[in-house]
């Protein structure tokens, strides 16, 4: 009887390890809520599938939507779009209302510029500067929920 | 004929999953390269085989998800300002100050307050270390683990202690805004 319990325990433990490896190294699901990526993502919440390979092998490009650790609170994840990568120079409007206050920012080595699609509601690189590449967690590939707005990004 | 091979393949895959899970959740070993943490952690002689070239340490990742680090801990963190050509490469520094603290930059009269969500890291060997004195406070999300023990070479086996340099940091109690000199979280 104990050997049965031990065998079941080993199977459950193996399953947990496989699920962890998939979740940490291949892809994961995230429920993202907030208005900063409107209209691309719903403010009321979307279930997204992220894949990890792009971030790990530096295949993140300008225009990709990524999930990252927030530089202002490492326990919080943010979902933004990459507008510039290292070496690029972009023109940034610190306030979306003030059109003539644009300034040029050169993205330093090892950093990316993240910005939400809704500039009025998003707190992003315009507020806390370029984000180190190592904070990126994954690239958003699919929207799974709500089911009627299934989409590949 | 194929059965023993299949059995071996299954067992190897299971063992690999378990090892990867352990190194992701519990902790991992690392060999020290570079002299920025001398004398606490040292690079070894060039004559030794590459794996044992420097001090080998164990760093734990259990405190990583909640970011429960204390001032004075030796931590491992992802590179801040280099191109991510090797995503697994980490650097080892001592965590000197957390968000809200005021830090006196050694060798100058500058005082910085650490912004929200960031921390100040320095190598123990100030002359050789590339750290927050060069690139400023870094996001706490870059910290991946805490170095707890040295396991090689045998005459240096022991705990890596939490040490805070005197006179460099002033702590702000976030609740009552009183500036004190003791580490409030970890005592």
Contacts of A20 in chain B (CB under 8 A): 17, 20-21, 24-25
Per-residue model confidence as pLDDT tens digits over B52-81? 667 889 999 998 888 889 888 999 998 876
Does B14 lie at the interface with A, CB-CB under 8 angstroms?
yes
- CB-nearest to A21 from B21, B66, B138 is B21
B90-97/B102-104 β-pairing: unpaired
Domain membership flag for residue A31: yes
What's the pLDDT tens digit per position in A58-95? 889 999 999 999 999 999 999 999 999 989 999 888 77
Residue A120 pLDDT > 50, yes or no?
yes
Contacts of B139 in chain A (CB under 8 A): 69, 71, 74, 131-132, 135
Q: What contacts B178, CB < 8 A, 6 or more positions away? A: B172
Please check whether residue B113 is in contact with residue B100, taking contact to mean a CB–CB distance below 8 angstroms.
yes
Band (pLDDT 50/70/90 cuts) for residue A143 is very high
User: Is it the case that residue B179 has pLDDT exceeding 50?
Assistant: no
Task: Please list, residue by residue across A10-46, b when 16 or more beta carbons sit within 10 angstroms of its beta carbon and e when fewer do.
Answer: eeeebeebbebbeeeeebbeeebebbbbeebbbeeeb
CB B129, CB B153: distance < 8 Å: no
The number of distinct structural domains making up chain A is 1
Choice among A71-85, A109-123, B88-102, B168-182 with the minimum mean pLDDT: B168-182
pLDDT at B51: 60
Q: For residue A77, is it within any domain?
A: yes
Which CATH number fits the domain that encloses residue A47? 2.10.109.10
Q: What is the pLDDT of residues B22-48, one digit of tens each?
A: 999 999 998 888 888 888 888 766 655
What would the pLDDT profile of B131-153 be if each residue is shown by its tens digit? 888 888 999 999 999 999 999 88
Q: Is A151 contained in some domain?
A: no
∠B23-B27-B32 over CA atoms, to 5°?
105
Q: Which residues of A touch B25 (CB under 8 A)?
A: 20
**In chain A, helix, strand, coil percent, each to 5?**
25, 35, 40
Beta-carbon separation of B81 and A72 below 8 A: no
pLDDT for res A109: 87
Contact B78 A134 (CB under 8 A): yes
Read off the pLDDT band of B177 (50, 70, 90): very low
- Cβ <8 Å between A74 and B140: yes
Q: Which domain holds residue A29?
A: 2-146
How much is the CA Rg of chain B, to the nearest whole Å?
Answer: 19
**By the CB < 8 Å criterion, does A101 face chain B?**
no
Strand runs labelled E in chain B: 27-31, 56-60, 74-78, 90-97, 102-104, 111-113, 118-122, 138-139, 143-152, 158-159, 169-172, 179-180
In a domain, A153, yes or no: no
CB A91 within 8 A of CB A113: no
Residue A144: pLDDT over 60: yes
- Position B83 scores a pLDDT of 58
Distance (Å, whole) CA A20 – CA B18: 10
Residue ranges of B 59-98 with Cβ closer than 8 A to chain A: 66-67, 78-85, 87
Question: Where is average pLDDT lowest: A109-118, B6-15, B49-58, B87-96?
Answer: B49-58
Return the pLDDT at A79: 95
Block residue for tokens 């994954």: A138
**Residue B109: predicted pLDDT:** 79
Q: Is the residue at A42 inside a domain?
A: yes
Query: A43 CA to chain B: closest CA distance, Å?
Result: 25
Residue written as tokens 């920012």? A105
Q: How far apart are CA B99 and CA B132, in angstroms?
A: 14
A62: nearest Cα among A78, A86, A96, A40: A86
Q: Taking Cα atoms as reference points, which of A71, A111, A114 lies closest to residue B67? A: A71
Domain assignment present for residue A99? The answer is: yes
Name which of B17, B78, B139 is nearest A71 (Cβ-Cβ): B139
pLDDT at B180: 42
The pTM for the full model equals: 0.85
A12-53 pLDDT, tens digit each? 999 999 999 999 999 999 999 999 998 898 888 899 999 999
Whether A123 maps to a domain, the answer reads: yes
ipTM of the complex model: 0.86
Spell out the residues 6+ positions from residue A99 whose beta carbon is closer than 8 angstroms to its own.
A93
First to last CA, chain A: 51
Q: Which residues of B fall within a CB distance of 8 Å from A86?
A: 83
Is residue A139 assigned to a domain? yes
Q: Cα(A12)–Cα(B16) distance, rounded to whole angstroms?
A: 16
């Amino acid at each position: 009887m104990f050997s049965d319990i031990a065998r079941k325990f080993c199977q459950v433990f193996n399953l947990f390890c496989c699920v962890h490896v998939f979740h940490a190294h291949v892809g994961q699901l995230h429920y993202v809520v907030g208005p900063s990526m409107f209209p691309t993502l719903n403010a009321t919440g979307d279930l997204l599938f992220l894949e990890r390979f792009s971030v790990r092998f530096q295949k993140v490009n300008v225009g990709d939507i990524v999930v990252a650790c927030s530089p202002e609170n490492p326990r919080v994840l943010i979902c933004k779009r990459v507008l510039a990568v290292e070496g690029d120079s972009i023109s940034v409007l610190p306030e979306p209302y003030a059109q003539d206050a644009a300034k040029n920012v050169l993205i330093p080595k090892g950093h990316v510029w993240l910005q939400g699609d809704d500039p009025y509601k998003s707190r992003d690189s315009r507020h806390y500067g370029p984000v180190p590449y190592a904070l990126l967690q994954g690239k958003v590939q699919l929207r799974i929920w709500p089911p009627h707005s299934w989409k590949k990004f | 004929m194929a059965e023993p091979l299949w059995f071996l393949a299954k067992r190897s895959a299971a063992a690999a999953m378990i090892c990867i899970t352990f190194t992701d959740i519990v902790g991992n070993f690392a060999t020290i390269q570079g002299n920025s943490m001398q004398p606490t952690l040292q690079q070894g002689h060039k004559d030794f085989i590459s794996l044992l070239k420097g001090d080998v340490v164990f760093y734990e990742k259990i405190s990583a998800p909640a970011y429960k680090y204390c001032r004075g801990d030796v931590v491992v963190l992802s590179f801040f300002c280099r191109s991510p050509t090797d995503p697994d490469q980490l650097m080892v520094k001592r965590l000197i100050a957390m968000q809200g603290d005021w830090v006196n930059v050694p060798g100058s009269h500058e005082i910085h307050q650490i912004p929200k969500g960031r921390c100040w890291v320095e190598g123990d060997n100030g002359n050789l270390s590339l750290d927050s004195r060069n690139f400023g406070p870094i996001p706490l999300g870059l910290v991946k683990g805490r170095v707890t023990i040295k396991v090689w070479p045998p005459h240096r086996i022991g705990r890596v202690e939490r040490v805070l340099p005197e006179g460099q940091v002033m702590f702000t109690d976030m609740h009552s805004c009183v500036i004190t000199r003791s580490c409030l979280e970890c005592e």
